[in-house]
Structure 1
Amino acid sequence: MNGARRVVITGSGFVLPLGSAREDVFSALQRPHGPFLRSVADPEVAICPVPDFDLKAHVSRCKNGRYLTRGQQLCLAAAVRAVDDAGLGPDELGQAGLFLGLGPNLQARPRDDKALWLLDYLPNTVTSVMAGMLGIHGENLTILTACAASTQALGQAFRAVATGLADVALAGGGDSRLSPEAVRAYKQAGVLATGFDRPELACRPFDRDRCGFAIGEGGAVFALECLEHARARGARILAEIVSASSSLDGGSLTGPDPTGHAGGTAVLRCLEALGTEDLCVLAHGTGTVLNDSVEGEILARNTTQAMGIAAFKSRIGHLAAACGCAELALGLICAGKAHFPAIAGLETPCRDDLPLLREPLRRSPRALLLQSFGFGGQNACLGVRPWS
């Protein structure tokens, strides 16, 4: 984008299995494993829930909260925290953009006790609630590109700010797939890890013995601004977004293209502006046999010189539509502390030619590459530089 404005992140709000405060999350990342449990709905499946979540603890009053799914509530809570973290007020939010990556409500059904049960089927219900609560009335988009959704939402917000459609934008997502319906759907699709002795060892991205992912939940939202706007109001800057890309395989309805061609194209487009010097990759890393194999090939073609490859799903599970924004939140925390955790459960890497983090990386990268690859070959990448 020649002549585009520089876009910075000035606020980060998140509600994750590891916590909702930076210090709590960083402390949790120092532990050997994430807080995984066996699912009550199916003890053969591992999950990573947000403990004791209550929307009222994050949002003082929300009369329409009853119309929101748990995943949407997590998204709303994260957005309120992001606005507070950025120090944004009504003047900045009035024409702000809103870009969210969300997923389906797998529990939706007609109900006699709920007049507006139709709202259960609409993923943009939380977008409307958020707009009303925060006073946001600018450019907006609700994105449903499976596990690439929130990363693509960040990319669209980046473009809107860079091209002058908005000076300020909120972007991110939220999701929860811990219900019996969701567990059953994922299990029948054959993507969940089973047969483990301990739930914290279920999800093992890039390990030769990987067999699937564990289900997580959470929300993360970021405040984006053009650099001039952020500086004019004296905002603290967390990072700069320098590139965004997406692509579509068009092959399988669920699995990635085995050649990794379209996914690799998205990666290359991001790297054109981001570069590979002092790079840390925030891999999609689901722990499924096929995804890790294809992603590993893409990484081997493009990022072998990276200082490290992280895989946060080994510590928080797979957050579906919200996985990208959650992993960026973790990546920025780790970059700020110059400490990235090892990939939990990685004992025998599936490839020896990749800098997969078997030990903690105690360096602060100059560049973060976020990768998200979803069902149906939905690919999205984001290039971010931590601010210094």
Structure 2
Amino acid sequence: MHNNQRRRVVITGLGWVTSLGHDVKQVWADLLACKSGVHAIERFDASAYPVRFGGEVLNYQPRNIEKRDAKRLDRFAQFALDAAVDAVKDADLDFAKENSWRCGSIIGSGIGGIEEFEYGHRKLMEKGPDRLSPFMVPKLMCNAGSGNISIHFGIQGPNNAVASACASAAHAIGDAANAIRYNAADVMITGGSEAALTPLGLGCFVALKALSRRNDDPTHASRPFDKDRDGFILSEGAGVLILEEYEHAKARGANIYAEFLGYGQSADGSHITAPDEQGRGAAYAMQAALEDAGHDPADVDYINAHGTSTPLGDAAETRAVKRLFNDDAYKVAVSSTKSMTGHLLGASGGIEAIITAKAIELGCIPPTANLDNPSEECDLDYVPNEARQLDVKLAMSNSFGFGGHNVSLVLGKI
């Protein structure tokens, strides 16, 4: 199917679970107000760790899942299903009225059910193999999010999971959009979920020396593009969107937030954790997404940056924008909302696609919080510390992951 025969894809529903809350409107308002969801860890004793804070979803109880069912889901799958139910409600979708074979789900997760893995391993060591749960495999597998969503709604179309570290959700959204574009589905539930803020998860990222150690001031620890940035903040949650074929959405009178226009991907092919310092892979993914969307860099009003607050990553992404946008690099508004949410790993692309869609819908760009002293190599317009009113017609959301994965999504005003 050639580009001119591709079906149009729109976003009709949004749902998320974040350390700032679960209500999309409320969390959006908090982001515009520069509020942080980063705080001291409460779910387990982190006193022995050099990092004792993160973007934890405090006092989480599944809102849309029966207690009995919730017990059979790892925390990451609970997040995914909760956010999916909210997104379906927001889209005012009734799957009983849909062709179930034309509705699907693709949900990304970088790590999957690590909490269940930890619990099961502890049981194995303490009580032996006979005490392992038959639910362990279905709880820890990376596709538990997408699988349980399809079961919950009885949908039977394209269904899979993407695991590409911090690019997982963005890959999932791009793949889900293509399922609709190329006529494999009419409706897709997509995004990402992650719950790696566990004793083992935190310990692993500490060992990698990837995290900020600003224990004395967690809310200001995530400071993308700032000269004092010292690593990312490990967070958890989920971001789920409803993608729908345009005519299908119009026929049922759906509310449309934005149109999905482009999907670009690449690999750095250079290092398993460090980005290409020149940003070549990232620039290629952005260029591919714009070409897919049929637009030029000069058309872009806003970039929701990957912007994790790591010394190497933020500089590389800045170089990538300059490499592709040339003189227009200084005209485009760029912000990193991880400055407030922290880094949700495989869920971040889902959260940030929602934020990008809201920026288009409401004509407002969320700020980069804690950007007090931009580092020398980071000299673009990062919308520091204050939201900005702007008629956003075309926006881009970037997600880059360990493994050298680069994904860029382009959304536009309908």
Same fold by TM-score, threshold 0.5 exceeded? Answer: yes
> 2:406 is matched with which residue?
379
- Amino acid corresponding to residue 114 of structure 2 in structure 1: L
Gaps of 5+ in 1: none
CA distance in 1, matches of 2:106, 2:5: 23
CA distance in 2, matches of 1:160, 1:372: 20
CA distance in 2, matches of 1:20, 1:334: 18
TM-score by length of 2: 0.88
Cα drift, residue 306 of structure 1:
4.4
Gaps of 5+ in 2: 124-130
Cα drift, residue 30 of structure 1:
3.7
- Amino acid corresponding to residue 391 of structure 2 in structure 1: S
More displaced stretch, 20-29 vs 110-119: 110-119
Q: Partner of 1:183: helix, strand, or coil?
A: helix
Would the aligned equivalents of 2:196 and 2:236 in 1 still touch at CA under 8 Å? yes
Q: 2:97 aligns with which of 77, 91, 95?
A: 91
Q: Partner of 1:376: helix, strand, or coil?
A: coil
Q: How many residues align?
A: 385
Matched, 1:69 2:74: yes
CA distance in 2, matches of 1:29, 1:161: 31
More displaced stretch, 334-343 vs 145-154: 334-343
Q: What fraction of aligned residue pairs are identical, expressed as a percent?
A: 32
Q: 1:320 aligns with which of 324, 345, 359?
A: 345
Q: Partner of 1:216: helix, strand, or coil?
A: coil
What is the aligned-residue RMSD (CA, Å)?
A: 1.8
Would the aligned equivalents of 1:45 and 1:193 in 2 still touch at CA under 8 Å? no
> 2:198 is matched with which residue?
179
Q: 2:57 aligns with which of 41, 50, 69?
A: 50
- Amino acid corresponding to residue 206 of structure 1 in structure 2: F
More displaced stretch, 218-227 vs 110-119: 110-119
For the structure 1 residues 341 and 168, does the alpha-carbon distance in structure 2 shift closer, same or farther, using more than 3 Å as the test? closer
For the structure 1 residues 360 and 128, does the alpha-carbon distance in structure 2 shift closer, same or farther, using more than 3 Å as the test? closer
> 1:106 is matched with which residue?
114
> 2:127 is matched with which residue?
none
Q: Partner of 2:365: helix, strand, or coil?
A: coil
Q: Partner of 1:224: helix, strand, or coil?
A: strand
> 2:284 is matched with which residue?
265
TM-score by length of 1: 0.94
CA distance in 2, matches of 1:93, 1:338: 35
Cα drift, residue 329 of structure 1:
1.4
For the structure 1 residues 149 and 329, does the alpha-carbon distance in structure 2 shift closer, same or farther, using more than 3 Å as the test? same
Would the aligned equivalents of 1:93 and 1:135 in 2 still touch at CA under 8 Å? no
Cα drift, residue 271 of structure 1:
1.9
> 1:366 is matched with which residue?
393
- Amino acid corresponding to residue 137 of structure 1 in structure 2: Q
Q: 1:156 aligns with which of 172, 175, 194?
A: 175
- Amino acid corresponding to residue 71 of structure 1 in structure 2: F
More displaced stretch, 124-133 vs 6-15: 124-133
Q: Partner of 1:100: helix, strand, or coil?
A: strand
> 1:133 is matched with which residue?
152
CA distance in 2, matches of 1:322, 1:329: 11
For the structure 1 residues 383 and 247, does the alpha-carbon distance in structure 2 shift closer, same or farther, using more than 3 Å as the test? same
CA distance in 1, matches of 2:99, 2:282: 34
Cα drift, residue 87 of structure 1:
1.3
- Amino acid corresponding to residue 59 of structure 2 in structure 1: D
> 1:290 is matched with which residue?
312
Would the aligned equivalents of 2:16 and 2:83 in 1 still touch at CA under 8 Å? yes
CA distance in 2, matches of 1:318, 1:380: 16
CA distance in 2, matches of 1:128, 1:277: 38
Matched, 1:311 2:336: yes
CA distance in 1, matches of 2:24, 2:261: 24
Cα drift, residue 58 of structure 1:
2.3
Would the aligned equivalents of 2:79 and 2:193 in 1 still touch at CA under 8 Å? yes
Would the aligned equivalents of 1:14 and 1:20 in 2 still touch at CA under 8 Å? yes
Would the aligned equivalents of 2:236 and 2:344 in 1 still touch at CA under 8 Å? yes
Q: 1:240 aligns with which of 259, 262, 266?
A: 259
CA distance in 2, matches of 1:101, 1:70: 14
Q: Partner of 1:147: helix, strand, or coil?
A: coil
Give 1:323-334 correspondences, 5 Å limit: 323-334=348-359
